[in-house]
Structure 1
Amino acid sequence: MILENHLFETLKLGDTAQAIRLCTADDLYIFAAATGNHNPLHVPGLDGDGDGQAEAMVPTAFAASLVTAILGTQLPGPGIMTLSQSYDFQGRAHAGDELVTTVTVTGLENGIVTLAARVIREIDKKQILSGTVRVQAPAVSYRVDSSTLPGLTVRRHRHFEALLAKAEPLPPLRTAVICPNNAASLGGALLARRHTIITPILVGDAGKIHAVAAELGTDLTGIEIIDCPQHAEAAARAVALVHEGRADAVMKGNLHTDDMLRAMVDREKGLRIGRRLTHIFVMDVPGLEHPLLVTDAAINIAPDLATKVDIVQNAIDLAISIGIAQPRVGVLSATETVNPAIPSSIDAALLSKMAERGQITGGFVDGPLAMDNAVSVAAARTKGITSEVAGRAEVLVVPGIDAGNMLAKQLSYISHAEAAGLVMGARVPVILNSRSDSSMARLASCAIAAIHHARMQEAAE
């Protein structure tokens, strides 16, 4: 966007400028962070007046800043200095409202410009602000490209919020929680219960579970607890609950992943259904328009081609469950061309061809793709790659566990993503969280499991 100003001698009475701005929840978060005004009336999701409803009301200073913006960018434009402002606020706007700001020159004297200003709500023409502002006109001509300004990304996890909203009306998922004997694992299960997403069955050392509950100040009345002091015993009992029809999901608590998976892959009593068990991170990356799935970053160390077929198919199935109708799957390698010296590039090409031939179904699969041309349309164009997936991948299939683990943790710790974890390929969803996961990550993992289970139930009927 090119910004250009108007010198005093070029202005005339009646000159007008207008701008339309959709006020979003992110705008209110940014305004609160920048000003330090955390009035709950203005913070999305909070109830500031006790009526039981979140207001997300636009601050009056934000409305006034819309006037300042149009003065500094359009009329008179860059180089002004504000001398005085006088506003009346007749109405209130909220996140989601489109606001129209208009300024009109009403006075010109000795380099001073007086302008009438008003802000209205577009949908009903309700006036939000009206008043007068005086500015010193710019002294020199100025023309600048404003696109050089840095952008802002709000660290907000809107995709997980949407998944929670989708999961909460579903019937609670009966979930066997294995060894919830520390604050994170028990607290995560109880949080999901409070959100009506799961009905937990706590399987582990009953004494330790009650002790942790006491530390958390939580009452476990009404929650079934099955006393299994040993980790292996608890994992086996949780699997048995699935076979008995008493549990529709399994959730990892405070035990090693290998101890949990050992019970699930048991040939006679496990939960395998023919596919390999594969782990999928569903990541909510701030600023990204869609959830991003990364697989496999936790179970299969160096998967061969047959295992990668299951990794891809499991990821497609889960992506469809969370609302991605035809998932775009980018199979990653170090290069976007097939190189016989790089085995992952060969596997990627074969997976792409297998999807074309219907051996992998439900989504678009393309590879090999390097990370940049998998997620950046500009990078894909630069490399001359044209496909349904290139630059727009919603699922990233990594060559091995080391690459997947590094990618997921980079997104979490550098890009501030939240990561939900689920194991697919079993008879029921397996909720798998890290000990360091936040409460939002644990809650989102339960929500995704509930949503996937509901879709599978619907498909089976």
Structure 2
Amino acid sequence: MSEAAMKAGERRHEKFEGLVERAQRYPPVPTAIAHPCDEVSLQSAVEAARLKLIVPILVGPASRIAEVAAQGKLDISPFEVVDAAHSHDSAAKAVGLVRAGRAEALMKGSLHTDELMGEVVSREAGLRTARRVSHCFIMDVPAYQSALIVTDAAVNIAPTLSDKIDIVQNGIDLAHALGVSDVRVAILSAMETVNPGVPSTVEAAALCKMAERGQITGGVLDGPLALDNAISPQAAAIKKIVSPVAGRANMLVVPDLEAGNMLAKCMSFLSGADAAGIVLGARVPVILTSRADVLITRLASCAVAQLVAAARRADAAAALH
């Protein structure tokens, strides 16, 4: 970090910068950007393209996109623009580019998340797979030793046990795509013991047994765990919880959307964490960013999508052999 940055109280985002550097080892991923009609979303596309994370296809009202580019002094001349009438049409046409095989990722522009996700999960023309669609935050928490995956805090409101199987597997697969070989999954609740009166503790125990029986693969699960026992070795030791996960989790599975939303925002606003966002379980990764995100967070979200796309290409190639 530069001396000027230190004086200004800025911090390096080492975990996110590492994600960007890792993603740059792979070819940029063709990405349909739905309705990039404000400076934040268009700047994100331009900068992500400059860093060779994505090849943007800008989908939205062409005149409006050109106006925003001119106002922000952003050069969009290298990018394809697909004209659309309005935000809903932008979402539909962006999803159509994926279905046509022209894009390997989707990115939210200046439209509502519901508009884009509505097209993604449409039964007729969407991007559904056999997996449940779920969201993962990749959290860069300054005081924690590794990036933390938090799931699901944005899509599934009150997931069932069946939903949570896919939510956990989506998160584990994401961790592998990010280069994490030792995926330690904490299934969170308000306590670390199974209590029939608290359904999330029963579901946590069931998920752990499913992992033991090979129904969930690629990670080590433990739960139920309270948050302190999941991330603090001292708290885990005091409670005499001994497992490969307790005190050193790198993936946190929350009971429901409300708990996940509160956890992620507590990390962001009380711990100074940044949160990259990605939706998994569809045919391609979906990049969800917020206008409040700093640029490195938006770029990290693009890097995550690029790494997921690269992992899927590798899996497809391996399947052919």
TM-score range, shorter chain: over 0.9
Are positions 1:427 and 2:283 aligned together? yes
Residue by residue over 1:344-370, the C-alpha shift from the partner in whole angstroms, topping out at 9 and shown as x without a partner, is 111111111111111100000111000
Q: Report the TM-score, using the length of structure 1 for normalisation.
A: 0.67
| Closer, same or farther: CA 342–410 of 1 in aligned 2, 3 Å | same
Residue 306 of structure 2 corresponds to residue 450 of structure 1: yes
Partner of 1:134: none
CA contact (8 A) 2:37 2:68 kept: yes
1:187 and 2:43 are equivalent in the alignment: yes
Q: Deviations over 1:336-390 (max 9, x none)?
A: 0111111111111111111111110000011100000000111011101111111
Indicate which of 155, 158, 161 corresponds to 1:302.
158
Amino acid at match of 1:319: A
* Number of the residue aligned with 2:171: 315
State the Cα distance separating 1:154 from its structure 2 match: 8.0
Instruction: Tell me the alpha carbon deviations over residues 164-215 of structure 1, each in whole angstroms, 9 at most, x when there is no partner.
Output: 1111232111000001001111111111011111010011111211111111
Matches within 5 A, 1:220-231: 220-231=76-87
Helix, strand or coil for the counterpart of 1:414? Answer: helix
Alignment of 1:247 with 2:103, yes or no, is yes
Question: Are 2:145 and 1:289 equivalent residues in the alignment?
Answer: yes
Q: How many positions carry a matched residue from both structures? A: 317
Q: In structure 1, what residue type is equivalent to 2:70?
A: A
Structure 2 unmatched ranges of 5 or more: none
- Residue of structure 2 equivalent to 1:87: none
Q: 1:372 aligns with which of 217, 222, 228?
A: 228
Look up the match of 1:440: 296
**Rounded Cα–Cα distance in structure 2 between residues aligned with 1:230 and 1:275:** 30
Which of 166, 188, 209 in structure 1 is aligned with 2:22? 166
Distance in 1 (CA, whole Å) between partners of 2:258 and 2:66 is 37
User: What amino acid maps onto 1:409 in structure 2?
Assistant: K
- 1:118-155 deviation digits (Å, cap 9, x = unpaired): xxxxxxxxxxxxxxxxxxxxxxxxxxxxxxxxxxx983
Q: 1:333 to 1:236 in 2, by over 3 A?
A: same
* % same residue: 53
Q: Which residue of 1 aligns with 2:118?
A: 262
* Counterpart secondary structure, 1:255: coil
How many Å separate the matches in 2 of 1:414 and 1:163?
Answer: 23
Q: Which is strand-richer, 1 or 2?
A: 1
2:67 paired residue among 191, 211, 221? 211
The letter of the residue matching 1:336 is: E
Looking at secondary structure, tell me which structure has more helix per residue: 2
How far apart, in 1, do the equivalents of 2:207 and 2:10 lie? 36
CA-atom RMSD in angstroms: 1.6
2:244 corresponding residue in structure 1: 388
Residue 404 (structure 1) aligns with? 260
- Cα deviation 1:391-441 (Å, max 9, x = unaligned): 111000111111111111111111111111000001111101122111111
Give the 3-state SS of the residue equivalent to 2:271 in structure 1: coil
Equivalent residue in structure 2 for 1:360, among 205, 211, 216: 216
The reply to whether residue 177 of structure 1 matches residue 33 of structure 2 is yes
The equivalent residue for 1:277 is 133
Return the letter of the residue paired with 1:307. Answer: D
3-state DSSP of counterpart to 1:347? helix
Distance 2:216 2:77 in 1: 46
Paired residues for 1:89-104 under 5 Å:
none
Q: Does 1:347 align with 2:203?
A: yes
Q: Which deviations, in whole Å up to 9, do the C-alpha atoms of 1:48-105 show, x marking residues without a partner?
A: xxxxxxxxxxxxxxxxxxxxxxxxxxxxxxxxxxxxxxxxxxxxxxxxxxxxxxxxxx
**For structure 1, which runs of at least 5 residues remain unmatched after alignment?**
1-24, 39-152
Out of 263, 268, 272, the position equivalent to 1:416 is 272
Normalised by the size of structure 2, how large is the TM-score? Answer: 0.95
Q: How far apart are the structure 2 equivalents of 1:325 and 1:242?
A: 29
| Paired residues of 2:5 and 2:11 also in contact (CA < 8 A) | no
**Which residue in 2 is equivalent to 1:45?**
none
Larger Rg computed on CA atoms: 1
**Cα distance between partner residues in 2 of 1:224 and 1:241:** 12
SS at match of 1:329: strand
Amino acid at match of 1:367: G
**Offset from partner CA, 1:300-356 (integer Å, 9 cap, x none):** 011111111111000000011111103100010000011111111111111111111
Q: What is the rounded CA distance, in whole Å, between the counterparts of 1:211 and 1:276 in structure 2?
A: 38
Residue 286 of structure 1: how far off its partner (Å): 1.1
Letter of the aligned partner of 1:314 in structure 2?
A: N
Q: Does 1:332 align with 2:188?
A: yes
The CA distance in 2 between the partners of 1:167 and 1:220, in whole Å, is 22
Q: CA deviation at 1:32?
A: 6.9
- Within a 5 Å distance, the mapping from 1:126-165 to structure 2 comes to 155-165=11-21
Corresponding residue SS for 2:58 = strand
